Structure 1
Amino acid sequence: MNALTVEELATPLRALRLLATDFTHLPAPTIRVTDIFPSRLELSFHGDADDLGGFAAFETWRQALRVEPDAVEFAVQSGGRTHVLSAYAGFAGASVRLVAYGPGAQAPTGAEVA
């Protein structure tokens, strides 16, 4: 059992409070603070096959937090069906992880396999 207190999560919570004040005009992310990484604030963005909004929101936040484009990592999940972008930024003493999930290339069906 983890013995951390809420006070020990103050750094990412403070960063969240400042982000909510300074960047009210940006797209709302899914927010995660966890005792596993007590100095990290995670902002995630999700898109689906009809909506690339997760990637667009990620890009807006990346620019706002001044993360260089070459600091963004790309990964593939679910057999290529999901693309993932991730990057880290420092903000108000916290490590802010930006992550976006969106549609990747559609896996071929049995009829399309040569």
Structure 2
Amino acid sequence: MSGLSTLAGLSVPMRALGALAAECGNLPAPTVGLTPIFPERLELSLHNGLGEFEVWRVALGVRPDQVEFGEQAGDTWVLKAFAPYAGAEVRLIAYGPTLDTMRAVAGDGGGDA
């Protein structure tokens, strides 16, 4: 059996996660993803808005121009970035409502002013 299809094959991102927990334990808790499909990758997903992305971006040393912006389903903004950390490739991703979505929730109908 290949080392990549075992739990031991995910040791690189697991070590990176341990290092992040020790060094950045005060940051917002992300959803954590590990997969044998990308055995060197640690995915950190943030689902409580885009503000949490910024503190993680700074902690990982990602420059603003390295951040990718996208839109999902017309009502969600997505920020993505990659950064090397403790031998792993960290994929940082955050989801947050668009301005129109926030306006609609606040009751002003959304749309441009």
- Name the counterpart of 1:82: 76
Identity of aligned residues (%): 53
2:68 is the alignment partner of 1:73? yes
Could you say which residue in structure 1 is the equivalent of 2:54?
59
TM-aligned CA deviation for residue 71 of structure 1: 0.2
- Decide which moves more: 26-35 or 3-12: 3-12
State the TM-score, normalized to the length of structure 2: 0.83
Provide the residue aligned with 1:21 in structure 2. Answer: 22
Unaligned 5+ runs, structure 1: 48-53
Q: TM-score, normalised by structure 1?
A: 0.82
The residue identity in structure 1 corresponding to 2:61 is R
Shift of 1:22: 0.6
Q: Could you list the structure 1 runs, at least 4 aligned residues long, displaced by more than 2 angstroms after superposition.
A: none
Unaligned runs of 5+ in 2: 105-109
Give the alignment partner of residue 99 of structure 1, picking from 88, 93, 101.
Answer: 93
The alpha-carbon deviation at position 36 of structure 1 amounts to 1.3
CA apart distance, 1:56? 1.1
CA RMSD after TM alignment: 1.8
